[in-house]
Structure 1
Amino acid sequence: MTAQLTPIEEALAHLLGKAPVITATERLPLTESFGRILAQDYQAPADVPPADNSSVDGYALRAEDYVPGQALLVSDRIPAGSAPSPLKPGTAARIFTGSEIPAGADTVIMQERVEVTDSGILINAEVKADQNIRRRGQDLAKGSLALGKGTKIRAQEMGLLASIGLAEVTLVKKLRVAILSTGDELVDPGTPLGPGQIYNTNRFTLLALLAEAGCEVVLCETLKDTRTATRETLERAATQADLIITSGGVSVGEEDHVRAVLEEFGELSLWRLAIKPGKPLAFGSIKGTPVFGLPGNPASVLVTFLMVAMPYIRTGQGRLRIHPVGLQLPAAFNTTSTSVRREFIRARIESVNAEARVSAYPNQSSGVLSSACWADGLAVVPEHSTVAEGSLLTYYPFTELLS
């Protein structure tokens, strides 16, 4: 296996070409669909909204019946949820937000622009057709595509699916993932630290990232730092999971067993990326189950998961959009040294002289996870480049990287 660094575009092309697309589906109540992926297209069975309705509380009338200074008789009252009678010519109808527009009316005047008198209403506003009316089918026309296969369901998608009357939806089954941490020095939070020990940070970072990605964690263990234990646990995980994600054990040290086990007992098809942090990422398989070997440092785990593992997972889920979309924003910082690796800087957007700029956390060490808590995204410094304040950078918000 060559030690040459692989550019991230080349690595992604390789990885996405190997991603097995999940074909298993399940039907669940709409209330349980948040964060899941649609397994089929959904068309609108009827117009949404199903009828013209008022966007305000006010009065419905025919615009040509309005005469400035002349009162209009109120002939009807239309609460939401009722079927209105046709509007009597030369009159107005009291109407409320969401109420169906009566036949014959072509405008609604909001109540704040109306004076109620004993002889009717006086309108203190310009009156023209189509004011304050939400037209039938303005959101979705009958038969049109509401949401496509591969859409991730957020709050707004849940609402849209409800608007076409769906109580249940067909979803892609969750990808089953095993999380394996490496290192005899790792202990779980809640346990006092002994000499040379540290808390297992990466397990909890990965648990949350996989939940955001719509995956199911089926195994979560810490590997003992021996070749035999690493092999046995990886092979056992392969029988339970669709994907194995390890943290640590992929560099060149004598105790880095994950990469060695993949080379000897499985397949290692990718190792060492031209990115910073995250160079020693590995990818392969054991007993036919794909394995992502992420680096051990906490910030490296976050960056490599977001930039490399997440597109792979999206591909397997059949997502409509695989790659995140970055913003182009000016930098609020400088760098002086260049690297052969593409750097992903923990950064956030701040206002500098009333302009949105990207600020970098001062310490970009791969062991400083607090930098990611301060940040709200990643700024990209291209290979062989330095950053001058004000130069444009590609910036990926965390919300975009996890969408």
Structure 2
Amino acid sequence: MRESGTTKNMLSAARAIEQMLSEVSPLSESLTVPLAEALDCVLAQPILSEINVPGYDNAAMDGYALRAADVKPNQPLDVIGSALAGHAYHDTVPVGSCVRITTGAVMPAELDTVVVQEQVALSQTGPSQQIHCQIVPEAGEHVRIAGEDIATGQQVLAAGHKLRPADLGLLASLGYASVNVLRQLKIAIFSTGDELLPPGQPLLSGHIYDSNRYVMAAMLQRLGAEVLDLGLLPDNPVAIEHAFAKAMTEADVLITSAGVSVGEADYTRQILQKLGQIAFWKVAIKPGKPFAFGKLDNCWFFGLPGNPVAAVVTLEQLVQPVLRKLSGETHEGTASLLQATCTVPLKKQPGRQDYQRGWYWQDAQGLQVKTLGSQSSGMLSSIANANCYIVLPADSASLPAGEVVSIQPFSVLLR
């Protein structure tokens, strides 16, 4: 790793992410879990289907199974039986005959087509029932062929895929009761600062409540990580070094909040330099310039700013893609940006890529967006009341109302 720390040489957000991604490697340890516990797990190996889906030719609609060649004008077909889902019709079907069939039922072997029930007229001759087709069907109409959805041996899901609710249903439909997945990423977190108090205690003069650990833990849980909360630590180098040592032996990643700037009580950076390596500790992003990335033996380190909004922004924008790669998830690149008309003026100085908190909506004129109150990095309400970031490039300056800007709707980490 190389040191890159002066203000002049701050890395861009894109370059910082690129460098971090180039240095980390995915987990390789895997385990088998029941399908019911596999949501948000990452597949350790590809899933191949061991069966055809559907497993047999079946009716796609309620109607009548017949031979398309038997359908002729003014010539009825005798209804000789029924095929129901789970109850196949096994007898021979003579030429000029048909079988009543329901959706999902097995197609009788000699028949090739289903005419839906709304396209036939029924008649009765003695005990026998006939149908008169009001259309001339094409062979194969309304029939699902065995394996047309998924064929035996076909890859259904790739290694590195993060399992979603629909994926679990798909795996169940293929008969999988369990799957081989990568183990959860173990992430240790702590906050530092003599001015911080845990929620629930009386608020003392000159103090604030620690909110960063709660936001970080919740966002990391949304990523599917196992969170080891090392607590709220004082500005004490012994306590901080002890937490570092615990993280180095028990976690894959350590994420801290505060302590990576240049203040005389900012010990986190000093201890990181003592115990590990720093790759960089400033990024040209606003909010969030004091951001550190490094390594402690086999434990990766991310040092977030102490300001609450800056901690949230850097965790989502800078750390999230790296954690996804570490967890073995297939990296999908940067989040897609939308274009929206900003209804208010935007203040910005050139120099750093800015993630202003906003609210976007759709109206007759298209996507609109506005900022929400103060953009101070210490005000979590600007995140809590927002639904997107307004992303302003590093070289952008202030903009008047009415300008088209790029927006990034909040990801699952903040929704």
Query: What's the TM-score, normalizing by structure 1?
Result: 0.90
Matched, 1:222 2:232: yes
**Cα drift, residue 26 of structure 1:** 0.6
Cα 1:348–1:129 change in 2 (3 A) is farther
Counterpart of 1:188 in structure 2: which amino acid? P
Q: Please, which of 71, 85, 100 is the counterpart of residue 106 of structure 2?
A: 100
Q: Does 1:15 align with 2:25?
A: no
2:80 to 75, 81, 87: 75
CA spacing shift, 1:197–1:58, aligned 2, 3 Å:
farther
Letter of the 2:65 counterpart: A
1:120 alignment partner, one of 126, 130, 133: 130
Aligned to 2:411: 398
Residue matched to 1:43: 48
Query: Counterpart of 2:287?
Result: 277
Q: Which residue of 2 aligns with 1:382?
A: 393
Distance change >3 Å, CA 97–CA 340, structure 1 → 2 = same
Identify the match of residue 373 of structure 1 among 380, 384, 393.
384
SS at match of 1:142: coil
Would you say 1:2 and 2:6 are equivalent positions?
yes
How do 1:149-228 residues align onto structure 2 when only pairs under 5 Å count?
A: 149-228=159-238
- 1:319-398 equivalences in 2 (<5 Å): 319-333=329-343, 334-386=345-397, 387=399, 389=402, 391=404, 393=406, 395-398=408-411
After superposition, the Cα gap between the structure-2 partners of 1:327 and 1:70, relative to the gap in structure 1 and judged at 3 Å, is: farther
Q: 1:103 to 1:238 in 2, by over 3 A?
A: same
Q: What is the letter of the counterpart of residue 47 of structure 2?
A: Y
Q: Structure 2 CA distance, aligned partners of 1:397 and 1:92?
A: 56
SS in 1 for 2:11: coil
Moved over 6 A (4+): none
Contact kept? 1:315, 1:322, Cα under 8 Å: no
Q: Which residue of 2 aligns with 1:313?
A: 323
Tell me what 2:154 maps to: 144
Q: Which one-letter code corresponds to 2:348 in the other structure? A: S
- 1:61 counterpart residue number: 66
The Cα of 1:336 is off from its aligned counterpart by 4.8
Query: Is residue 71–residue 136 contact of structure 2 (8 Å, CA) maintained in 1?
Result: no
Distance 1:128 1:159 in 2: 33
Distance change (3 Å), C-alpha of 1:78 and 1:190: farther
CA distance in 1, matches of 2:334, 2:122: 55
Q: Which one is further off, 133-142 or 185-194?
A: 185-194
Amino acid at match of 2:404: S
Unaligned runs of 5+ in 2: none
Alpha-carbon contact 1:350-1:359 (below 8 Å) kept: no
Distance 2:66 2:369 in 1: 53
33-42 or 78-87: bigger deviation:
78-87
In 1, the alpha carbon distance for the partners of 2:74 and 2:392 equals 67
Conserved 8 A contact 1:250-1:294: yes
What amino acid is the match of 2:25? P
Contact persistence 1:113–1:125 (CA under 8 A): yes
Deviates more, 1:167-176 or 1:226-235: 226-235
Q: TM-score, normalised to structure 2's length?
A: 0.88
Partners of 2:97 and 2:298 lie apart in 1 by 75
Count of matched residue positions in the alignment of Structure 1 and Structure 2: 402
The alpha-carbon deviation at position 25 of structure 1 amounts to 0.7
Q: Which residue among 25, 33, 36 is the counterpart of 1:28?
A: 33
Of residues 218-227 and 116-125 in structure 1, the stretch that sits farther from structure 2 once superposed is 116-125
Q: Is the 8 Å Cα contact of residues 277 and 295 (structure 2) preserved in structure 1?
A: yes
**Distance of 1:141 and 1:78 partners within structure 2:** 25
Residue 175 of structure 1, CA deviation: 1.0
Question: How many angstroms apart in 1 are the aligned matches of 2:61 and 2:414?
Answer: 37
Letter of the structure 1 residue corresponding to residue 44 of structure 2: A
Measured after TM superposition, the shift of residue 354 of structure 1 is 4.9
Q: CA deviation digits over 1:89-136, x for unaligned, max 9?
A: 322222222222222333323334444443423445563333332232
Shift of 1:288: 4.3
Distance 1:224 1:324, change over 3 A: same
Alignment of 1:287-306 (within 5 A): 287-306=297-316
Q: Mean alpha-carbon deviation: is it higher for 239-248 or for 317-326?
A: 317-326
Q: Which residue does the alignment assign to 2:252?
A: 242
Out of 34-43 and 348-357, give the one that drifted further: 348-357
Q: Counterparts of 1:84 and 1:190 in 2: how far apart (Å)?
A: 69
- Partner Cα distance (2:271, 2:342) in 1: 44
Structure 1 position 32, deviation (Å):
0.8
